Structures are given as structure tokens and as C-alpha cells.
């Protein structure tokens, strides 16, 4: 089966997955996960850092009350959103394999609501590397977001209201209005939900290591594969190297690797322009001012390596040498695939970040270009009139990715 055929069939059968489904050379298992790290999120009045045994009161350092949703409770506190606490992840296994000892964690992009795009990717890694692929959702994405946020009628109405409120807004759509409104209201959500995702993955790895997930051999080895904004999560995991778990893990990035203020995320599918301004204001320009008022944010960025890494990745010039020291340290274990016509995360910004301002970091950043229409969100279109070319391009890129990801005996 070609990539395009695999995509179409997998998308269809995955939408009705129960506990398990089989397709050709792969089995896909649905697994449940309970997040403990949701306790970090905005929404309560008391917080506790277990590592340092410190208490914090609610440190709401930033709130934009003008964003307002009329009919829908977008402003539900993060800690109250049950979907984000109890949710499913998926394990894509080579067909018939009962226990996997080699894994690839796959992290998705921003504002993604279903896994379809990634299913053929996971299948390719399974088929070529023989790895199990772990599809683990980032906080408030995929099934971790309330269904309402992808309700077309309700979101269309919100987007109309939003355009009235902000007449000059660019790219407000029913697809991005929920995430845009929430992040504009509290841009610090980007930091806390990023950290929740980080701690969730660490907790998942601990579960695997304790033998609590029957499909995973507790002595597993693993690599990381991340698309777009999932690359922040993967880089933070790799670089913070919790308990040295990640020392031997390779990291493959696709359409990813640039720092936050070098992205152009204002598109119909990602963010609208008003939210981009808020994120820029908070994360890129003035987070240091807000840290002075927000004891918990300050504590995490100053005392937790993972939070400091995320903070460094928001602005190209912020602690650039520290950020580049990690890229240099792990250069041989990183491979980045970029696309010439990716205008959201341009190739040259990926090079700027990964190879460093002075191009002295030997990370392999490989740029591809294809003779068909494509873009950041969909590098391998599913309904192209040039599906043969797409299939060929996909094979070329994924042969390289899989070769890099394969864990040798």
C-alpha cells in the first residue's frame, strides 16, 4: 500500500477504534492515562512544588478580561477540564508483537485535533524500524480538549463574534478560535500546559519502566520524533535528560526546531493574529516582568531545568549561548528535516536555532522541496492530483527518518 492509500484507510478505521485495531503490518492499541501534572495549571489558589517542597498561592500574573466568549465557557479553569486529565494515548505496534523493547515517541503539532496525519508516519516507523510508536497527546490537544472546542457551529459563531471585537484580526477561523481565545486570555497557559505535557511524558516513561504497561518491555530503549511545536517538548525532554533516561535517545525533528519568536504561526489552522500578539507580548518580550510578580513561574524557570529550557526557546537572543550549548552537546544525536516551502517554520530559522547563530553546531539539518503543492500543516497532501509524486516524496523523506531512528542491537 502507498502512503496515500494507508492514510485514507487508517483515518477511516482509526475513527472507530475500540481497544485495538489491526491494519496490514500494524496493530494499534488504545491506552488510558491519568495526568498528575495538571495540578500545575492555572485554576486553583494553592500550588505545591514536590521537588522543592515549596507552596505557592495562585500567581495569576497576566489576565486579559477583554477576550470574552459570549455563549461558551471558554474561561473554564484549566484544572477543571476533565478531558485534559484523563485521556487516551496510542501504541502502534508491529503486527503480532506482544512486548516492545524499542520505542519511538511521536509528538504532534499545535492545535491538532486528530491523529490521522500521524498514523501513516507511525506505520512507516513500525514497518522500517520495528519500533512501537507511542502517540501521546500534548495538553489540551487531540482528545485532551473538550469536544466543544471543535464543534463547528459553536466555533463559527465564536469566530464571527471575535471578528467583530477585533475588526483588524487576521486568520480567525472556527478551527483556531478556541485555542486562540484561551491563549490570548492567559498566554502563560503556553508555559504551564507545555510543562504539564513534559511531566506527563516523564510519568509515562516511569510507568513503562515499572512494567505497568503490558505492551512495553521495562528495559526498553527509545528515540523521539517530533513535528512542529512538538519539537519544543521533545527538545526539552532530551536536553533536561531526567534521571539520564534520555542519554542515548536520538531526536528527529520534522518542520521543527526554530525558536518561538522566529515562527510565523498566524494561519487558519494554528493561531489568529491577536493571540500571536499576546503570546509575543508575554512569552517573547516581557516574561521577565511577569516573573517578578509570579512566584511560581519565577521558581520554575529559575529552579527547574525543563522550565528554563522552555523559557530559552521563546526568544532567539534569550540565553542563546546556554541554549546552543545543549544543541552542541547532543548534535550527533539530532537530525532535522525541513521543507523549503514551509512558511510557518522556515528552514533557515531551524538552521539558525539548531546550528547556532555562528553555524558552529554540527546538527544535520536537511532541506527538501517537492514538485507539488504543500505547506507546513500538510507536507504530504492526501488528495493531491499528484499523488504519485507525494508518495515518492514521502518515501524519500521517511526512508531517511527511519534510517536515523532505527535503534541497532
Nearer to Zn ion, 54 or 170 (CB): 54
| Count of residues that interact with Zn ion, criterion CB under 5 A | 4
* Gap between the Cα atoms of 326 and 305, Å rounded: 12
Q: How far is the CB of 137 from Zn ion (least distance, A)?
A: 25
* Gap between the Cα atoms of 346 and 301, Å rounded: 28
Closest CA to 64 of 245, 277, 212: 277
Nearer to Zn ion, 303 or 383 (CB): 303
Nearer to Zn ion, 49 or 328 (CB): 49
* Gap between the Cα atoms of 49 and 59, Å rounded: 13
Q: How far is the CB of 198 from Zn ion (least distance, A)?
A: 14
Please identify the residue of the shown chain whose CB is closest to the bound Zn ion. 49
Nearer to Zn ion, 51 or 164 (CB): 51
The mark string for 285-304 relative to Zn ion (x by CB under 5 A, - otherwise) is ------------------x-
**Sign of the CA dihedral with 20 first, then 407, 342, and 386 last:** negative
Cell 500550588 -> residue: 47
**Which position among 20, 52, 76, 293 is part of the footprint of Zn ion (CB under 5 A)?**
52
* Gap between the Cα atoms of 383 and 380, Å rounded: 9
Nearer to Zn ion, 20 or 48 (CB): 48
Q: What distance lies between CA 108 and its chain's CA centroid?
A: 4
Q: How far is the CB of 297 from Zn ion (least distance, A)?
A: 11
Q: How far is the CB of 202 from Zn ion (least distance, A)?
A: 14
Nearer to Zn ion, 208 or 311 (CB): 311
Contact call for residues 190 and 140 (beta carbons, < 8 A):
no
Nearer to Zn ion, 63 or 302 (CB): 302
What does DSSP assign to residue 78? G
Write out the binding residues for Zn ion, residues 300-329 only, by CB under 5 A.
303
Contact call for residues 338 and 350 (beta carbons, < 8 A):
yes
* Gap between the Cα atoms of 111 and 171, Å rounded: 14
Q: How far is the CB of 53 from Zn ion (least distance, A)?
A: 8
Q: How far is the CB of 88 from Zn ion (least distance, A)?
A: 30
* Gap between the Cα atoms of 343 and 279, Å rounded: 19
Closest CA to 135 of 157, 159, 104, 101: 104
The mark string for 32-51 relative to Zn ion (x by CB under 5 A, - otherwise) is -----------------x-x
Q: How far is the CB of 300 from Zn ion (least distance, A)?
A: 6
Residues that bind Zn ion (CB under 5 A): 49, 51-52, 303
Amino acid at each position: 500500500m502507498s502512503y496515500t492509500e494507508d492514510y485514507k484507510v487508517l483515518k477511516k478505521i482509526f475513527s472507530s477504534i475500540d481497544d485495538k485495531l489491526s491494519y496490514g503490518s500494524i496493530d494499534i492499541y488504545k491506552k488510558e492515562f491519568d495526568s498528575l501534572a495538571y495540578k500545575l495549571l492555572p485554576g486553583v489558589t494553592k500550588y505545591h512544588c514536590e521537588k522543592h517542597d515549596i507552596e505557592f498561592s495562585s500567581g495569576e500574573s497576566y489576565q486579559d478580561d477583554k477576550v470574552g466568549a459570549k455563549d461558551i465557557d471558554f474561561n473554564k479553569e484549566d484544572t477543571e477540564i476533565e478531558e485534559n486529565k484523563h485521556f487516551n494515548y496510542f501504541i502502534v505496534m508491529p503486527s503480532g508483537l506482544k512486548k516492545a523493547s524499542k520505542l519511538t515517541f511521536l509528538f504532534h503539532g499545535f492545535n491538532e485535533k486528530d491523529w490521522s496525519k500521524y498514523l501513516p508516519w507511525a506505520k512507516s516507523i513500525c514497518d522500517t524500524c520495528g519500533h512501537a510508536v507511542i502517540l501521546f497527546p500534548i495538553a489540551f490537544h487531540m482528545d485532551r480538549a473538550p469536544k466543544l472546542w471543535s464543534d463547528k457551529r459553536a466555533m463559527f459563531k465564536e469566530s464571527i463574534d471575535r471578528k467583530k471585537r477585533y475588526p483588524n484580526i487576521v486568520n480567525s477561523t472556527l478551527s483556531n478560535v478556541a485555542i486562540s481565545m484561551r491563549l490570548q486570555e492567559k498566554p502563560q497557559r503556553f508555559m504551564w500546559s507545555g510543562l504539564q505535557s513534559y511531566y506527563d511524558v516523564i510519568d509515562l516513561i516511569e510507568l513503562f519502566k515499572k512494567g505497568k504497561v503490558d505492551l512495553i518491555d521495562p528495559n526498553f530503549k527509545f528515540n523521539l520524533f517530533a513535528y512542529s511545536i512538538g519539537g519544543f517538548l521533545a527538545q526539552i525532554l532530551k536536553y533536561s535528560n531526567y534521571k539520564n533516561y534520555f542519554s542515548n535517545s536520538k531526536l528527529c525533528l520534522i518542520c521543527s526546531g526554530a525558536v518561538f519568536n522566529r515562527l510565523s504561526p498566524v494561519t487558519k489552522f494554528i493561531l489568529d493574529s491577536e493571540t500571536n500578539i499576546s503570546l509575543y507580548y508575554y512569552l517573547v518580550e516581557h516574561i521577565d516582568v511577569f516573573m517578578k510578580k509570579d512566584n511560581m513561574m519565577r521558581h520554575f524557570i529559575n529552579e527547574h531545568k525543563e522550565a528554563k529550557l522552555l523559557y530559552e526557546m521563546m526568544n532567539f537572543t534569550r540565553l542563546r549561548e546556554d541554549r546552543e550549548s545543549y544543541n552542541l552537546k547532543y548534535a550527533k544525536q539530532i537530525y532535522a528535516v525541513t521543507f523549503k516551502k514551509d512558511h510557518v517554520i522556515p528552514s533557515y530559522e531551524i538552521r539558525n536555532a539548531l546550528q547556532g547563530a555562528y553555524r558552529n553546531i554540527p546538527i544535520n539539518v536537511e532541506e527538501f522541496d517537492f514538485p507539488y503543492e504543500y505547506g507546513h500543516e500538510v507536507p504530504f497532501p492526501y488528495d493531491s492530483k499528484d499523488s504519485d509524486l507525494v508518495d515518492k516524496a514521502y518515501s524519500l523523506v521517511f526512508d531517511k527518518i527511519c534510517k536515523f531512528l532505527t535503534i541497532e542491537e
